[in-house]
Chains A and B, each alone.
With several copies, the nearest count.
Chain A
Amino acid sequence: MTGPQTKLLRDMIRIRVFEERCAELYGQQKIRGFLHLYIGEEAIAAGVISQLTKDDSIVATYREHGHALIRGIPATEIMAEMYGKAAGCSGGRGGSMHLFDAERRFLGGNAIVGGHLPLATGLALADKMLHRKGRVTACFFGEGAVAEGEFHEAMNLASIWNLPVLFCCENNLYAMGTSLQSSESETNLSLKASSYNMPSWSVDGMDAEATAGAASRALDTVRGGGGPVFLEFRTYRFRAHSMFDPDLYRKPDEVAKWTERDPISTFSAQLTSAGTLTQEHIDRLWVEASQETQDAVDFAEAAEWEPVENLEDHVGATDGASVVLV
């Protein structure tokens, strides 16, 4: 039970279980603020991040719990962050939208749509200028970001400077209530990449092996000095945009059509029918994930609040603890 397929499935299940619990905890007001669930889109983070090395960097959006988990940030620390506890991966200061982990080169958790693309470009620029050959920055963003000027500027810079960025567009068809159709004059996102002279292709974002395969292929190019690549992952979020969203803008049959393609159940069926895993194996993955999540909740519950006296910490240099990435 340790092959790459199992790992993909396990990772997707871990995200699913973790986030289902987050939704509950939000109802209980343990988690506050905004909470954006990744449920339905797990195959992207699981597949892409499986192809990254520990030297690569990840820059993500506010819908990043899955990416953080797969990257190896302990569920305990992620959950503590969602609670706002000092033991959280961002010291409790960030919450759900701002998960950070320097050690694992995980740079957020960014909540300005499109705002993190320049940052990812800059990380890659540093890698290139410091001759850290083979390193990549994977930048995740929704298709809504494509309309923002910052997307456009970052794409151009990454391309003109031939930087090692993997642009991962998680196209779940909606930006809050706005469909791609109604927000982009050209919905073929590959044409956007072409207009920056950047290779790009579209990938079934509901298939973890497809996402892993595409990432692997793209990363070969990027690591080899071929410059940035743009991948469009076609996916769907099964839940509302955030816990505040009544989700009235999507037709039930559209939702139904996509949920049939649930990346976890389809992959599970595929693996059992191929004889790779038994149902018992798969059940065990769910149990383990539940245990991991339960441990995370226990940890978060028991964790301490940051003393209020420390409010003004981490505004500017007061000690030598913070890092830049080496």
Chain B
Amino acid sequence: MTAPELAAETTYRDALREAIREAMIEDERVFIMGEDVAEYGGTYAVTKGLYKEFGRDRVRNTPLSEAGFVGAGIGAALGGMLPIVEIMTVNFSLLALDQIVNTAATLRHMSGGQFHIPVVIRMTTGAGRQLAAQHSHSLECWFAHVPGLRVVAPATVTDARWMLKAAMADPDPVIVFEHNGLYNSSGPVLPGPVDLTTAEIRRPGTDLTIVASAGMVSKSLEAAEQLGDRNVSAEVIDLRSLRPLDRATLAKSVEHTSRAVVVDEGWRSVGLSAEIAAGITEDCFYRLDAPVCRVASREVPIPYPRHLEDAAIPQVHDIVAGAMTVMTGSLADV
């Protein structure tokens, strides 16, 4: 391992684009398709300019037909290509779930391992932009439920750069969730490669473990700072991979801290936060000083107005409040 060099600042969006570019240069079988990925450059400008470099064959616009082009991506992968399929947002992926679950996730198994499907499906996720109920879903948990899929959610510029690269090297379907709030975030790209499966401690701490992913990582880090002012030392773990979950890293942390808060932008019930809470409890039951606290979205379709949207999804103060419950809950018990 060489020591990490600090690269120039770049954005999450540009890091994703660079990963795609590199893959397209390195391997002719790589192509990207989706709605308006060519001239338009993708709704979130991730593919901006790529069609000039690689042409409209390899930066391929599709009609509005999510099931069709996701299925075509799966087929193209079976046929020897290495497709990256961009679904504008997770909200529209509902139209393609049959293809993703009934074909991409099952075909290797159904065929007795004869076929694999090296497709990468990228999609934007998350609320926070006042796009209201049909455009603000965080359904990562649905995908994380399905055997046969790998599900990742890069939260940093470095992960955007290298996880996408790793996803493309993976022989099986990988779902990449890109949080809409991260595209403009910037930072250095540390040297790769990175893996697709381990969680990462973003801030060490001793009193409490905060588990988050994607758009919730920076809020958790901010909450950890505020908790520091209250003499609570919070460790913040970025899940990175939503399937499989790196339970070992979580367990190791909680073995230390004895307390955990899980932060999830998805709805609370039957979501990712439930799995993480259950998993931590299974692994660390006899170490836990308080029940794992879930800070997740309120059980409501995301409303349009800023103040209601803010109230619906986890904010820094909610994380701090959750953490304080866990801290005092245990005190009450001691």
Name A residues whose Cβ lies closer than 8 Å to a Cβ of B: 32-34, 57, 83-85, 88-95, 97-98, 100-102, 107-127, 129-130, 144-145, 147-150, 152-154, 156-157, 160, 175-178, 182-184, 244-245, 248-249, 305-306, 308, 311-317, 321-326
Q: How many A-B residue pairs have CB under 8 A?
A: 291
Contact A112 B75 (CB under 8 A): no
For B77, list chain A residues within 8 Å (CB).
Answer: 122, 126, 324
B10 interfacial by beta-carbon distance below 8 Å: no
Q: How many residues of B contact A (CB 8 A)?
A: 76
| Known contacts A112-B134, A122-B71; A322 and B114 CB within 8 A of each other | yes
Residue interface mask B90-129, A partner, CB < 8 A = 1: 0110010011001100011111111111100000000001
Closest approach, in angstroms, between the C-beta of A75 and any C-beta of chain B?
17
Contact B116 A153 (CB under 8 A): no
- In the bound complex, what is the Cα–Cα distance between A169 and B152 (angstroms)? 39
For B117, list chain A residues within 8 Å (CB).
Answer: 324
For B129, list chain A residues within 8 Å (CB).
Answer: 33
Contact B64 A154 (CB under 8 A): no
**Nearest 9 Cβ contacts at the A-B interface:** A122-B75, A91-B112, A118-B71, A126-B79, A153-B68, A84-B305, A177-B40, A95-B304, A147-B63
Closest approach, in angstroms, between the C-beta of A314 and any C-beta of chain B?
4
For A176, list chain B residues within 8 Å (CB).
Answer: 35-36, 40, 43
From A90, A153, A311, name the one whose CB has the most chain B CB atoms within 10 angstroms. A153
Contact A314 B108 (CB under 8 A): yes
Please pick, from B43, B63, B103, B116, the residue contacting A183 in the complex, using a CB distance under 8 A.
Answer: B63
Contact A157 B65 (CB under 8 A): yes
Contact A153 B65 (CB under 8 A): yes
Contact A122 B63 (CB under 8 A): no
B201 interfacial by beta-carbon distance below 8 Å: no
Docked complex: B51-72 residues within 8 A CB-CB of A: 57-58, 61-72
For A125, list chain B residues within 8 Å (CB).
Answer: 72, 75-76, 79, 81
For B57, list chain A residues within 8 Å (CB).
Answer: 129
Contact A316 B150 (CB under 8 A): yes
Provide a sorted-by-A list of 13 A–B residue pairs whose CB atoms are within 8 angstroms: A98-B134, A122-B76, A122-B77, A126-B78, A152-B65, A156-B65, A178-B63, A248-B40, A308-B311, A314-B113, A315-B108, A322-B108, A324-B79
B248 interfacial by beta-carbon distance below 8 Å: no
Please pick, from A108, A124, A147, A322, the residue contacting B110 in the complex, using a CB distance under 8 A.
Answer: A108
In the complex, besides A91-B112, A93-B308, 6 extra interface pairs with C-beta distance below 8 angstroms are A34-B135, A97-B134, A108-B107, A148-B64, A157-B69, A160-B63
- In the bound complex, what is the Cα–Cα distance between A136 and B74 (angstroms)? 17
Closest approach, in angstroms, between the C-beta of B134 and any C-beta of chain A?
4
B23 interfacial by beta-carbon distance below 8 Å: no
Docked complex: B166-207 residues within 8 A CB-CB of A: 170-172
From A85, A118, A121, A312, name the one whose CB has the most chain B CB atoms within 10 angstroms. A118
